[in-house]
Structure 1
Amino acid sequence: MRLIPSCHSFCYFRLLARKNFATSVASSSVLPEFLTPKSLIGQLQQPFSTTLCLCNNKQIKRGKKDRKSTDIAAIKGTVSTRGVLVDDDEDDDDEDDDGGAVKKGKSNSGSSNNAKALAVEAMHEMEEYLKTLNDALIKHLSLKVNLKVYEDLSVTLENGETHRLIKFARISLKTPNGPVVLNFSDNPAAIKPAKLAIQSMAENVSPQMDGIVIHVPIPKLTRERREELATHSAGLILNEYKLALNEVYKKYTKLLDRSSNNKELVVRLCNGLLAEKRKYDKMGEDKVKERREILLKEIDF
């Protein structure tokens, strides 16, 4: 879509399985505001994938001081069906050769596993933020008309209820470059509030009513507008993404510090998370750079 989400009326997404976007759009003078750390962290309430292995399957041998591994190796293992990281060598260490008796230090083993599980969750959250960044760049910094922007537009009825526009209208494109056609034959009472919501999207949006149908012309994206999106808006998106990653890192380093008495393990895990955060920072920068190059291409409409 060739419009930018408003920082005044932006109600952004839920991550993980749903990723429901509720957006509005503003004029070129207003910059996007999303990927806000507090709002995003609060949405991460769904359990993570139970089969994803974020690291190699090489086992971590406890008690071997001469092992050679990177900081992130402390997080290696697999995720069980309950989302708890399991080190396969733990079971062997906890049983005697003659009868399977549990050795001393089982509580320490449990706290170590909890710390590793927290580290895996942190990396998984970073991965979800990267996916969300990619979705946001495609959705809001695209040269093509994106009907998702209209489908997720919040419409407030006269009774105070708020729903997505897709609930009231059938949304389609008359041609690849517009206009967008909204058919309210099933919900004619929602036409007026929907028109107001569309008008709030941007100053240059002028919906035209034709009975129970609204036509929304799509303004041409000029070279100047593409440059503004590529430099100003895309840069802010990247900054907010990095802030979100920083919030994840800070949150989980605090949790890790309280999760285990094995301070050596905690330090390794925290260093590993820092390396992962920097990796995702770089991946985000690459995605934004790619989107900037696309926006700055000369395209004939």
Structure 2
Amino acid sequence: MDQVREVLRYHHYAYRTEQTYCQWILRYIRFFGGKIHPRDLVAHHVERFLSDLVVKGEVSASTQRQALNAIVFLYREVLDLPLDGKIMPLRSKKKPMLPTVLGKKEIKSFFQHIEGTHALMSKIMYGSGLRLMECVRLRIKDVDFNRKRIHVLGKGDKWRSTILAQPIIREMKIHIEYVKALHHRDLEEGFGEVYIPAALSRKYKNAAMETQWQYVFPSKKRSIDPRTGRERRHHVQESGLQKAVKRAAHRACIDKRVTSHTLRHSFATTMLENGTNIRMLQELMGHADVKTTERSRWSAATA
């Protein structure tokens, strides 16, 4: 597993991806008793493991695909062993559900029951259509107050630009001033470094210490980077926002399954109801396929 981590880091995979891939690879090894080395397992063993995930684990198609990606990485990049033959496991029959969206009254009630930084993060997700991790990983340089835009590094490391809602601009400015002051204190104490991609850190030696690269939503305490061992201030944990959203929905007596992603879907539905072109919305949302965006149209019709 040390070798797996080493190769993942060599290819500059995100730390979260590293954790996920390692978990799936370990699960794959343990599925066959934990005593057989993966090099002694072949394609039909992979197929058996993936099929078991569906039959007994009842996982979704996306989860099964994630497990497959991790195992393929193991064989292709780490062991340098091709998996001979096609891998054709039983496929999950779970169909994607229509996304949950909140109506105007529900949105108003929701925001009356959430406060602090979690409220601001929720407003950004609802006002700009950001995904959970896109919001959590937002950096100061990504917020353009002059043009009222937010630049987002989304799935597949693809950049897009979305709107910065007018009602939250003042609140955002106040919050970012607080973050700048926090960063200044860290610098005075001999810290102030933030994680940036390896390629950028080589090109811009001092970027990690600069204010513009700091996270908009930093954690309250500094922590040790698990890869470098350096003490840094990372972004907040996404689990805090997830819990705050569920708690606010419960307090607002919203009888729907509300998650942080519901805010993003509600943004899409609101934009469509206000007459936004589907192609323009696709760009704002960062969807590779317009069919994904069209699900919001069905949600708007059934809301």
TM-score normalised by the shorter chain: which range applies? Answer: under 0.3
- TM-score under structure 2 length normalisation: 0.22
Higher relative contact order (CA 8 A, sep 6+): 1
The structure richer in strand per residue is 1
- TM-score under structure 1 length normalisation: 0.22
The structure richer in helix per residue is 2
The structure having more radius of gyration, on CA atoms, is 1
